[in-house]
Amino acid sequence: MRLLVLSVLSVVLMVVDARFDTLKPFRSQLGLVLTPFYWMADMPQRLWIDMTQSISSRSELLAENEKLKAEALLLERRLQKLATLTEQNVRLRELLNSAELLDEKVLVGELIGVDPNPFTHRILIDKGEKDGVFVGQPVLDARGLIGQVVEVMPYTARVLLLTDSTHSIPVQVNRNGLRAIASGVGNPESLDLRHVADTADIKVGDLLVSSGLGQRFPAGYPVAVVTEVIHDSGQPFAVVRAKPTASLNRSRYVLLVFSDPRSPEQRAADAAVAQEKADQQDAASAIDATGSATAPAQGAQ
């Protein structure tokens, strides 16, 4: 019975609300009162949506961050590679410029190993017997002499550096021709000049070049620059130290020098003979060309 009454009352209220405006203020007030309940009822759904979006946004940001990190790492690697290639290009250009200044035949080699023994200054290069490398062959970089080949294998060779304690090279002061022996002391930044008289004309800044004595190193290659001269009136010899001009602990590429066994006089004589032959060939070619041009002219007359 109660259900029936409530049903009839509901129908009456709906009809009155639809036909008349009597219940509009009541409905408006009722909606104002129920708004907090609507908001509270919708809160779990909105919280779920916000949390889902937050988690999704965080995951996307993390993924994008990882992607950007990977791209940045790749770009850094390319930049490092570009810097390395640029530096290698500069060094190769220096070597090529140095090779153009040499009269001898040269071969470019690359350093592929360093002797791990700290008391031995030796390097391994990627040229060997198959490339014509031989024991005793001079080796230099873009700035000066590095050392000489002491061991040759089919495809590699071992080079003894100037600064090795067992190595010595005859040098002379480029300014006045004073001769001396530069010996290694186990320091890649220093050479000692042995038995230089205390009264010898040598000073800091003098350039030392190979003298050619001993027939091992060709004359005229830069070896070192004098960095210290100590005179002691009580000693017969001065203490002279020099810094190698070559970058012994930094050079990546080297030049192997194939020296011309001929003397300077013989090379000059051979060059004069070759030039004379070339002049004779040019003269003969000119005569032949003149004869060919006059023959058609005579036929026309």
Read off the CATH number of the domain in which 195 is found.
Answer: 2.40.10.340
Yes or no: say if 201 and 217 are a contact pair by the CB < 8 Å rule. Answer: no
pLDDT(111) > 80 = yes
Per-residue model confidence (pLDDT) at position 168:
93
- Say whether both 121 and 170 belong to one domain: yes
- Token digits of residue 95: 């070597």
Task: Choose the final residue of a domain: 40, 71, 101.
Answer: 101
Residue 237 resides in a domain = yes
Identify the band that residue 163 occupies on the pLDDT scale cut at 50, 70 and 90: very high
- Say whether both 133 and 95 belong to one domain: no
CB neighbour burial string for 154-166, b if at least 16 within 10 angstroms, e if fewer: eebbbbbbbbbee
Tell me which of 63-77, 83-97, 133-147, 223-237 is least confident: 83-97
Per-residue model confidence (pLDDT) at position 68:
82
- Say whether both 122 and 56 belong to one domain: no
Residue 300 resides in a domain = no
Residue 36 resides in a domain = no
- Say whether both 82 and 139 belong to one domain: no
Per-residue model confidence (pLDDT) at position 147:
93
Mean pLDDT of 43-72: 77
pLDDT(269) > 70 = no
Per-residue model confidence (pLDDT) at position 225:
94
User: Average pLDDT, whole number, for the chain?
Assistant: 79
Identify the band that residue 122 occupies on the pLDDT scale cut at 50, 70 and 90: very high
Q: Which residue has the higher pLDDT, 269 or 136?
A: 136
pLDDT(294) > 60 = no
- State the Cα–Cα distance between residues 3 and 119, nearest whole angstrom: 109
Per-residue model confidence (pLDDT) at position 79:
63
- State the Cα–Cα distance between residues 114 and 109, nearest whole angstrom: 14
- Token digits of residue 263: 């003397």
Task: Choose the final residue of a domain: 257, 272, 287.
Answer: 257
Q: Which of 202, 184, 191 is nearest to 238 (CA)?
A: 202
Identify the band that residue 226 occupies on the pLDDT scale cut at 50, 70 and 90: very high
Q: Which residue has the higher pLDDT, 270 or 64?
A: 64
**pTM for this prediction:** 0.56
| Residue 32 phi, psi (nearest 5) | -65, -40
The CA-CA-CA angle for residues 98, 253, 193, to 5°, reads: 70
Residue 5 resides in a domain = no
- Say whether both 84 and 222 belong to one domain: no
What is the torsion angle, in degrees rounded to the nearest 10, for the CA atoms of residue 73, residue 75, residue 77 and residue 80?
A: -130
Mean pLDDT of 252-270: 68
Residue 205 resides in a domain = yes
Identify the band that residue 107 occupies on the pLDDT scale cut at 50, 70 and 90: confident
Per-residue model confidence (pLDDT) at position 104:
62
- Say whether both 132 and 208 belong to one domain: yes
- Say whether both 133 and 231 belong to one domain: yes
Per-residue model confidence (pLDDT) at position 144:
85
Domain containing 75 equals 49-101
DSSP track, 41-76: HHHHHHHHHHHHHHHHHHHHHHHHHHHHHHHHHHHH
Residue 61 resides in a domain = yes
- State the Cα–Cα distance between residues 66 and 59, nearest whole angstrom: 11
What is the torsion angle, in degrees rounded to the nearest 10, for the CA atoms of residue 273, residue 274, residue 276 and residue 280?
A: 140
Number of structural domains, the chain?
2
- State the Cα–Cα distance between residues 194 and 250, nearest whole angstrom: 26
- Say whether both 128 and 227 belong to one domain: yes
Mean pLDDT of 1-10: 76
Residue 215 resides in a domain = yes
- Say whether both 237 and 165 belong to one domain: yes
- Say whether both 91 and 125 belong to one domain: no
Per-residue model confidence (pLDDT) at position 94:
62
Mean pLDDT of 220-226: 90
Residue 179 resides in a domain = yes
Q: What are the Cα distances from residue 214, in Å, to 160, 181, 211, 222?
A: 17, 11, 9, 17
- Say whether both 134 and 242 belong to one domain: yes
- Say whether both 197 and 147 belong to one domain: yes
